[in-house]
Amino acid sequence: MGLCGVSLGDIGNIKLDNNGHATKSVTTNRWSITDKAVNNIIGLGIIVHGGTDDYKTQPTGNSGPRIGCGVIVKQ
């Protein structure tokens, strides 16, 4: 896949409820789930940080430790 190692952007801060649940809806033209699209994100990783992104400090936005990760899959 052509995007390995490339950051496709920040999805913003997500606030969790008291049970640790949240929902996030994102609309962008930077990502695709189309099989042969150059910006296809299926199979790429996603990292969850434990703090709030300050949108200034790079590359992690001073957003705290990495507390989770996963692979983006299409169901």
Using one digit for the tens of pLDDT, what is the confidence trace for 6-37?
566 677 788 889 998 888 888 888 888 888 89
Confidence label for 3 from pLDDT (cuts 50, 70 and 90): very low
Cα–Cα distance for residue pair 55/43, rounded to 1 Å? 26
| Residue 65: alpha-carbon gap to chain centroid | 15
Cα–Cα distance for residue pair 21/61, rounded to 1 Å? 22
* Tokens 């990495």, residue located: 66
Q: Output the CA torsion 12→2→44→67 (10° steps).
A: -60
Q: Is the pLDDT of residue 63 over 80?
A: yes
Q: Are 53 and 12 in contact (CB under 8 A)?
A: yes
